[in-house]
Amino acid sequence: MTKHVAIYDTTLRDGTQREGISLSLHDKLKITGLLDNLGVAYIEGGWPGSNPKDEAYFRAVKQLHLQHAKISAFGSTCRKGVKPELDDNIKALVDADTPVVTLVGKTSMLHVTEVLRTTPEENIRMIFESVQYLKSIGKEVIYDAEHFFDGIKLDMEYALDTVQAAVDGGADTVVLCDTNGGSMPWEVATFVETVKKAFPFTQLGIHTHNDTELAVANSLMAVQAGASQVQGTINGYGERCGNANLISIIGDLQLKMGYACVPAESLRSLTHVSRVVAEIANLAPDNHLAYVGKSAFAHKGGIHVAAIRLNIDSYQHIDPMLIGNEMRILISDLSGRGNLLSKAEEYGLDINSSVAVEVLEDIKELESQGFVFEGAEASVAIRLHRKMPRYKPAFQLIDFTTIVEDRRGRGAFAEATVKIDIDGDVIHTAAEGDGPVNALDLALRKALLPRYPQVTHLKLVDYKVRILNSDQGTAATTRVMIDTYNGKHTWTTVGAGVDIIRASWLALVDSVEYGLYLAESDAQLASETTRNVTI
């Protein structure tokens, strides 16, 4: 029988405590929809009463038609000396009108005496009465035992007394929190087992932080020890070093440990959810995240790729398609012949082993000069195309010049001239631009436009420069990476050398030639589709 673990997401509250994250109301609602589609059991929307945005969220989220998740409002137990029904924080939780309320209370004697500045007995009263009151008005109550693992090490008897108060109050789930993120996996397992033994009929949860890079491991150990709810955030976002990463936890629990966390069909959206949440949070997706990172199934070493070509499982722990990711073969000076053969197959090119070796040797030589092809796959693709028997260059450079001037009354400006050969026709053009590379780009497009109108769709969207050996001063080698977009595809090309203008030209030529190749491929595909429909 498959065991179930309830996934409780707190990206919208704990996740936003990460430095640099600020979500709008629209952002929070969009993430809510993503999480519900993923199939999480609970979504913690925020702390009503703490700010107007969270209050607005709880009003707006009622308009969403959620299929899987329950919305929870988060807040603390009543204040010392105040009855729950008279406490402003508790009133705000009630007014949020959510089916679930998550209450946080103190477990550690240190926090009771030094932070709350109250007695152990009053803290017990605050926990018990707050939970009891919210249960009496029909709420599902999740009790977060803050600093539980620090508290139980400090005073085990009192820590268990606080849990007893929540249980006596009627809490549906008691969540053991490693709030400072300093616990070791074996400690988590031991103390979860202790609580499970003391409260065998109480549903337990786990909430861990990542200050020792153990949040995921600690969460998994807690599940093995008896926890049936896991709290965390998408991509592990959170204060300080972050929270437990639910993306990894869902993958581990469902694919490795045999637990059911989200609907099986939802696993394929795991990568999508991770990357979209990153974009909404205005953070670059982490390419090296387990399961969902762009590099999670990227293979660079030649020996690895050679083995994968024989058996795809030889260097992959799962099929990346299970979680919506994909395998990638990287090209670099560490590559072997198999890397190039795999890449050619990816581009639909039929090349033999000797051609692969020839291109590989060219790439290795260029990388020794400062090129890097790992992130510039279009430059690899175009080099493979150039080795095809029927390859015909779109154009050939005869020469180019660039001039940068600073004139009185006009200021600085750049001018470039380009002379190219297209099927024996010599075309000579000039253009002015904001800088020498911009002028060169415009002059090349101007020369190509009469023969290749497709260049109007090519947009240079990013231009990155890196100085490789800065100790050489102005004689240092410069690497240029260009990202180009044609409305459908985005690709990256590379150039390098001691002359930044020539390095830029090399990347630019690869970019334009690859863009023309894509345009030709898309046109052929459209023609074949039309012919098939006609037939």
453-475 tens-digit pLDDT: 989 999 888 888 888 777 777 67
Is 362 inside a domain boundary?
yes
Q: What tokens appear for 394 in the block?
A: 């779109």
Answer whether residue 289 is part of any domain.
no
Read off the pLDDT of residues 379-421 as tens digits, 9 standing for 90 and up. Answer: 888 888 888 877 788 889 999 999 988 877 667 789 999 999 9
Inside any domain, residue 309? yes
- Whole-model pTM over 0.85: no
CATH number reported for the structural domain that contains residue 241 in this entry: 3.20.20.70
Any domain includes 249 = yes
What is the number of structural domains in the chain? 3
Measured CA distances, 223 to 39, 192, 213, 270, 392 (Å): 19, 9, 18, 21, 61
Q: Decide if 67 is inside a domain.
A: yes
What's the rounded Cα separation, in Å, for the pair 227 and 151? Answer: 18
Q: Do 233 and 321 belong to one domain?
A: no
Alpha-carbon distances of 494 from 29, 106, 238, 444, rounded to whole Å: 40, 56, 36, 17
As given in the structure block, the two tokens for residue 209 are 């932080």
User: Same domain for 436 and 475?
Assistant: yes
Query: Which segment of 448-452, 468-472, 475-479 scores lowest on mean pLDDT?
Result: 468-472
Residue at 103 is within a domain = yes
Helix ranges (H only) for 226-294 are: 246-251, 270-280
**End-of-domain residue from the set 358, 385, 412:** 385
Lowest mean pLDDT across 102-111, 155-164, 182-191, 359-368: 359-368
Collapsing DSSP to helix, strand or coil, 320 comes out as: helix
Per cent of the chain over pLDDT 70 is: 90
Report the CATH number at residue 523.
3.30.160.270
Same domain, 407 and 358: no
For residues 229 and 89, give the distance between their C-alpha atoms in angstroms, rounded to a whole number.
25
Q: Which of 43-57, 123-137, 228-242 has the lowest mean pLDDT?
A: 43-57
Q: Which of 337, 366, 385 is the last residue of a domain?
A: 385
Cα end-to-end span (Å), the chain: 53
Same domain, 172 and 308: no
pLDDT greater than 90 at residue 41: yes
Q: Are residues 93 and 237 in the same domain?
A: yes
Q: Are 342 and 418 members of one domain?
A: no
Q: Is the dihedral of CA 24, 205, 92, 37 positive or negative?
A: positive
Measured between alpha carbons, how far is 105 from 181 in angstroms, rounded to an integer? Answer: 17
The pair of three-digit structure tokens given for residue 395, joined into one six-digit string: 């154009």
Asked which of 335, 366, 385 is the last residue of a domain, the reply is 385
Same domain, 338 and 431: no
137 within some domain: yes
The rounded distance, in Å, linking the Cα atoms of 356 and 338 is 8
Mean pLDDT in the chain? 88
Same-domain pairing of 353 and 471: no
Q: Please return the burial class of 300, using the count of CB atoms within 10 Å of its CB with bins 0-12, 13-18 and 19+.
A: middle
13 to 21, 45, 140, 509: CA distances (angstroms): 11, 6, 19, 48
Q: Are residues 460 and 401 in the same domain?
A: yes
**Coil, helix or strand at residue 476:** coil
So what's the pLDDT on residue 296?
Answer: 82
Q: How many CB atoms lie within 10 A of CB 210?
A: 23
Are both 451 and 325 inside the same structural domain? no
Backbone angles phi, psi at 18, to 5 degrees: -65, 140
Long-range contacts at 487-491 (CB < 8 A, ≥ 24 apart): 487/457, 487/459, 488/522, 489/518, 490/461, 491/377, 491/378, 491/515, 491/518
Q: For residue 470, count CB atoms less than 10 angstroms from its CB and return exposed for 0-12, middle for 13-18, buried for 19 or more.
A: exposed
Average pLDDT over residues 294-301: 75
| Location of structure tokens 């400062």 | 370
Over 90: is that where the pLDDT of 44 sits? yes
Domain hosting 50: range is 7-262
For residue 134, give the 3-state DSSP assignment.
Answer: helix
- pLDDT band at residue 528 using 50, 70 and 90 as cut-offs: low
pLDDT at residue 340, rounded to an integer: 62
Per-residue pLDDT band for 320 (boundaries 50, 70, 90) equals confident
Question: Residue 507 corresponds to which amino acid?
Answer: A
- The reply to whether 273 falls in a domain is no
Sort residue 490 into left (φ over 0), alpha (ψ -120 to 50) or beta. Answer: beta
Counts for the chain of helices (H) and strands (E), in that order: 17, 18
* 60 and 195 share one domain: yes
pLDDT of amino acid 6: 98
Residues whose CB is less than 8 angstroms from the CB of residue 322 and which lie 6 or more positions away in sequence, other chains included: 255, 267, 268
- Do 233 and 163 have their domain in common? yes
Percent of the chain with pLDDT over 90: 57
Cα–Cα distance for residue pair 471/483, rounded to 1 Å: 28
Instruction: Tell me: pLDDT of 143 over 90.
Output: yes
Task: Check: CB of residue 208 under 8 Å from CB of residue 219.
Answer: yes
Q: How confident is the model at residue 533 (pLDDT cuts 50, 70, 90)?
A: very low
User: What does the alpha-carbon distance between residue 23 and residue 215 come to, in Å, rounded to a whole number?
Assistant: 24
Residue length of the chain: 535
**Residue recorded with tokens 């080795």:** 387
